[in-house]
Copies of this chain bind each other. A is one copy, B any other.
Amino acid sequence: MTRTLIAHLSPLPDGPVEVAGWVETVRDQKKVQFVILRDETGVVQLVNPATRDLGEDASDAERSAAALTETIGGLAHGTMVRVSGDLKHDERVKLGGLEVKIGSLTVESEALPETPIAEDSSLDKRLDWRFLDLRRPEANLIFRVQTTFEHALRTYFVDNDYIEIHTPKLMASASESRAELFELGYFEGTAYLAQSPQFFKQMAQPAGFGKVFEIAPAFRADPSFTSRHATEFTSIDAEISWVSSHEDVMRMHEEALAAAFGAVVAKRGAAIEEAFGVELAVPSVPFPRIPLAEARRIVAEGGYEIPRADGDLDPEAERRLSAWVKANHGSDFVFVTDYDSTIRPFYHMRHEGDASLTNSYDLLFNGVEISTGAQREHRVDVLIEQAREKGLEPEELEFYLDFFRYGVPPHGGFGMGLARVLMLMLGLSSIRETTYLFRGPTRLTP
């Protein structure tokens, strides 16, 4: 007999079924035993009439029934069992209006009796036992939402003739900066872990790939402990040729996001509302665009003085700006554009005629930055000049600069943190909840 997923039981007629999953609870009453069984799709009630206190003249069938009763009574929470039985629809059963009368039950894998985490365990403790923590239906849903989101995003890219690339994570030099760089021995030499696929996705442009995307890990030796940072994270990247400005990048970016949110709302919207109380909507495009200088004015007019000198927004300013955008434009998303050159990397293109501003943007979603995008500087002499100005040695960037010496189209793209998008989409408080196995300065296990 083939296993039926619990979510698929309901439409079946009464009759024999096989289910498999883990024991959530056992209610061991004198005359009847109830087991709540969960699998990756839901929960179902199993029922068994108890057979106890056999006399000496008990039949084989009675002995076997008594053995089953004993087995069920001893089931620890989490134990994996396979059950054959009879499905019966009965509207008096609160749990989905059906139950399975146990015919036979096989213990596939016993759980230790003491579960190391409970509902009120701290996040850190839950992460120690992440494989148990992930059994929560909400956690399962997070990663189903992630799957739907990513697949829709990729489908958008594939349908629009993007090439999927897998850029190397082992590099001979830094991709972003010498800070926050993981270094490793590489045979006789040294390698570094890619902080982003920046240089290599740009390489696809002189390579004539036109439009590319990648969803892959990136690594930052970032010592911070915020709810938004990790030392390893999944980065969604795209890069396209022949853009006229960052506007072309933003248009592609918002279209891709609208497609992905559309898929999530359609497939997981109801489950998200039930589990997280979030009524997810498909964002309308275009998202509002607000130049950084104007964003600063809006925040200042709202009575908040940004406590940093470099002109960038801080997290509180991002929250306030997003609230203003939500109130005035009805959008959960906002592109903050035209960042000052001083707070952007050397490879961002600057305004023609005003080198103090860049053709760049940050995307804020529900008050938090989820992405940075830009048109890239593709003129090698300007690029070298900008690298020098940022204190970089062009000699160390030779392999990257070569990409610009044999013809390269104007291009731009973005990088976006997957776990951040999910955290903000589902109203959660930390990317630790939306990362399968979080990695931070003091967390490298399990």
Contact = CB atoms under 8 A, between A and B. Distances in A.
Interface of A: 3, 20-23, 38-41, 76, 78-80, 82, 108-112, 115-116, 129-132, 134-135, 139-140, 143-144, 146-148, 150-151, 154-155, 158, 162-172, 182-187, 189, 191, 193, 200, 203-204, 206-211, 216-217, 219, 221, 223, 231-232, 234, 241-242, 378-379, 399-400, 402-410, 418, 435-437, 439, 441-442, 444-446
B166 A234 contact: yes
Contacts of A189: 444
A211 B40 CA distance: 9
A179 to B, nearest CB: 14
Nearest 4 CB-CB pairings of A with B: A40-B210, A184-B184, A134-B207, A111-B407
Nearest to A75: B407
A139 B446 CA distance: 40
A357 to B, nearest CB: 22
Contacts of A110: 407
Contacts of A163: 140, 143-144, 146-147
Nearest to A380: B109
A112 B405 contact: yes
Most buried by B among A3, A82, A154, A166: A166
A80 B169 contact: no
B183 A185 contact: yes
A172 B444 CA distance: 6
Contacts of A41: 210
Nearest to A23: B407
A78 B407 contact: yes
Given A151-B155, A170-B444, A436 B165 contact: yes
B187 A441 contact: yes
B407 A166 contact: no
A378 to B, nearest CB: 6
Contact of A3 (B165, B209, B242): B242
Given A158-B151, A446-B399, A135 B193 contact: no
B232 A168 contact: yes
B143 A108 contact: no
Given A112-B405, A407-B110, A206 B132 contact: yes
A271 to B, nearest CB: 13
21 contacts: A20-B241, A20-B242, A40-B210, A80-B407, A109-B378, A110-B407, A147-B158, A151-B154, A166-B418, A168-B439, A169-B169, A169-B232, A170-B444, A172-B444, A182-B184, A183-B184, A184-B193, A186-B221, A200-B436, A216-B216, A399-B446
Contact of A446 (B76, B131, B203): B203
A242 B81 CA distance: 10
Given A217-B169, A399-B445, A406 B203 contact: no
Contacts of A162: 147
Given A184-B185, A187-B442, 16 more contacts: A3-B242, A38-B208, A39-B210, A109-B404, A110-B407, A129-B402, A131-B403, A132-B206, A132-B406, A135-B208, A148-B158, A151-B155, A165-B436, A182-B184, A186-B444, A189-B444
Contact of A209 (B134, B158, B223): B134
Nearest to A221: B187
Contacts of A165: 143, 436
Contact of A379 (B39, B109, B148, B209): B109
Nearest to A205: B131
